[in-house]
Structure 1
Amino acid sequence: MEWDKRASDSLKALNARVLLVLCQRFYNKGRLPIEIKRLTRDILNIIGNGGFYNAGILNQKLERLGWGKNIVDNFIFELILYYFEYEGTYKVEFYIENLVPDCTH
């Protein structure tokens, strides 16, 4: 049981660190702390609706909500997926697209 508690505590600490890095990345992109809270809420709502997402699709949906272009880069997207999945809030499935280059040209 001690191992389970230590593992759980380590995971919580890691998730807190991931959330901090995520917030820092948004802050470094020029977002204010109050905007970061609203932005993460919008991201949560978008992903919570289900579907298939990558950074590009998420950016399109955020742009429609008025957040501007290219809010989420691939690193931020991976942090979001990690955080949501390990918080137990969402089951995230990863899909690899375009594994084989288009050789028809």
Structure 2
Amino acid sequence: MTRTDPALIAFLEEQRADYTRSLPRRLEQVGLLWQQILRGEDLAQALPTLERHAHSLAGSAATFGWAELGLAAQALEFALGPHVGTEQALAPEAQAEVGRAVEQLQQRFHGAA
């Protein structure tokens, strides 16, 4: 039988708490970038930055106990992928798809928080 180190457990719990505390700010950044994209402002930077935020959340969320949030972030990342590097406003269908993904991401956080 393996003994669990209480110091390790405490460290991991603190890491999870730190991650959870960072989520409101990270999701606020997602929302601000999405609004910037909707306004058509600096798409060359906003689209890849939003994709990076989604990618980061998709990769880290499940590790810290936010699996559903991670799946929603992955969906956002995939929705953005074809549009990164185009520097063009999103077509209405793409805008609707990405908008739904942003909304789902926000809902996964607020529903679980």
TM-score (normalised: structure 1)? 0.35
More helix by share: 2
TM-score (normalised: structure 2)? 0.33
